[in-house]
Amino acid sequence: MSGTQSEEDLAAAWGAETDADSGDEAAPVQAQRVLNQAEIDSLLGFDEGPSGNEHRSGMQRIISSGLVSYERLPMLEIVFDRLVRIMSTSLRNFTSDNVEVGIDNILSLRFGDYLNSIPLPAMLAVFKADEWDNFGLMVVDSAMIYSIVDVLLGGRRGTAAMRIEGRPYTTIERTLVERLIQVVLSDLTVSFDPLCPVTFRFERLEVNPRFATISRLSNAAVLARLRVDMEDRGGRLELLLPYATLEPVRELLLQQFMGEKFGRDSIWETHLAEELWNTDIDLDVVLDEQVMRLTDVMALKPGSQIVLNASMGTTVQLRCGGTALFEGRVGRRKNRVAVRIEHEIVRPQAGER
C-alpha cells in the first residue's frame, strides 16, 4: 500500500512539473496570430475562382512558373496579329456579315493540361504544316459552331443561335465548320509568308480530345485564343502549336523585328563580295623550273646566262603567289611574248587531300 501511494505521489509530481512547463511555453504560442483558411488561400493564390488563370498572386505564381519552361517568341506574336487582320477580311467575305476578330491572349502551357481543359462539346481540327512535317490543333467551341451554321444557312439577325446540347454534330454542321477551318488555315498560311513559306493542310476533324493527341502530354505548346464577333453572334477559336512544330523556324521566331539576322551581316557580306571583284592581283607566268646546285647558284654573276626550256607552244603555268591557277601556251602577239590560257587548274578540296 505504501508502494502504491509513493508511485501516485511521484506521478502527481511529474504531472505538476509537466503542466508548469507547458504553461510557460503556452504564453508565447498564444501570442502568435493563426491564419484562417481565406488568408491561406489568398497567400497561395487559390481564391480566384475558375476565371482567375490570368492574374495569379502570391506563391501560386512561384509554383506555376516552373510548370512550363518556354521561350518567348516575339515574331510569333506579330504573325498572330497579322492573322487577326487577315481573318477579319476573309470571314466577312465568307459569311457576308460584319465580322470582328480579336485576339484574347497568347500563352504557353503543357499540351496535356490544355487537352483536359477544352470545354465540350467542341470540334477539334488537326492540321499539318507540310514544310515543317508536324501538326497543330484548332479548337472551335460550341458557340462558334452554332453561330457559323446559323449565319451560313441564313439565320435572321437579332436572334440567338439555337443550341441543342447533348447530341452529336450533324453532317451539315461538320461540313460548314470544315469550310470555316479551311478559311482560317489559308489565312494562317498567308500570315507566315513574310517569315517563311509554309502550308497548313487540314487533316481531320474530331469531337473527342483523346483522338486529337498530336504531341506528348508533357510537351510545351503555344496557345492563341481568338474571339470572333458577328454582331450578336460569335464564339471562340483556339490555335495550338506545339514547340516541336515550331522548331524548324525557331531562329526566325526569336527575331525582334522582320529581317533580323543572327551571326552575319548581309550588308557587309555583299560589300565585301563587290570589292573582291575589283581587286588587282599579279599573275606570274612560270616559263621553266630548274634544279641547280648551290655552288652553281653562288657562281652566278651579272652577264651569266640561264637557258630556259620554254619555246613557242610550250605549256606553262600561271600562278598567283604560290597557287597555280591556269595552264596556257606561250606565243607571240605584236612582237611581245604572250600566254594564251588553255584551262583552269582545279585545286583539290580540303577533304580530298
Among 68-72, 208-212, 225-229, the minimum mean pLDDT is found in 68-72
Helices and strands counted in the chain (H then E)? 11, 10
Q: At a CB cut-off of 8 Å and minimum separation 6, what does 344 contact? A: 325, 326
The pLDDT value recorded for residue 260 is 54
Give me the pLDDT at residue 309, please. Answer: 77
Rounded to the nearest 10 degrees, what angle do helices 74-95 and 142-152 cross at?
30
pLDDT value at position 48? 47
Instruction: Give the domain 74-253 fold.
Output: Chemotaxis protein chec (3.40.1550)
Q: Could you identify the residue written with the cell 557580306?
A: 269
**Amino acid of residue 63:** I
Q: Taking the complete model, does pTM exceed 0.75, yes or no?
A: no
Q: How far, in Å, CA of 24 to CA of 28, rounded?
A: 8
- Do 157 and 134 contact (CB within 8 A), yes or no? no
What is the percent of the chain where pLDDT is above 90? 15
pLDDT digits (tens, 9 = 90+) for 308-341: 777 777 888 888 887 888 888 888 888 888 888 8
Q: Do domains 74-253 and 280-352 have the same CATH topology?
A: no
**pLDDT-based confidence at residue 256 (cuts at 50, 70, 90):** confident
Asked if pLDDT for residue 113 goes beyond 90, the answer is no
Question: How many other β-carbons are positioned within 10 Å of the β-carbon of residue 110?
Answer: 18
Q: Which three cell numbers stand for residue 146?
A: 452554332
Q: What pLDDT, in 10s, does the model give residues 35-81?
A: 776 667 666 655 444 444 445 555 555 555 544 445 678 888 888 99
**Residue of 126, 123, 157, 158 whose CA lies nearest to 143:** 123
> Taking 80 as the threshold, does the pLDDT of residue 34 lie above it?
no
| Per-residue model confidence as pLDDT tens digits over 2-19 | 555 556 665 666 566 555
Q: What CATH number was assigned to the domain covering residues 280-352?
A: 2.30.330.10
Q: Could you tell me the CA-to-CA distances from 352 to 149, 257, 325, 326, 347 in Å, in that order? A: 66, 42, 18, 20, 10
Give the angle subtended at the CA of 275 by the CAs of 271 and 278, to the nearest 5°.
155
Whole-number pLDDT of residue 241: 92
Q: Residue ranges per domain, the chain?
A: 74-253, 280-352
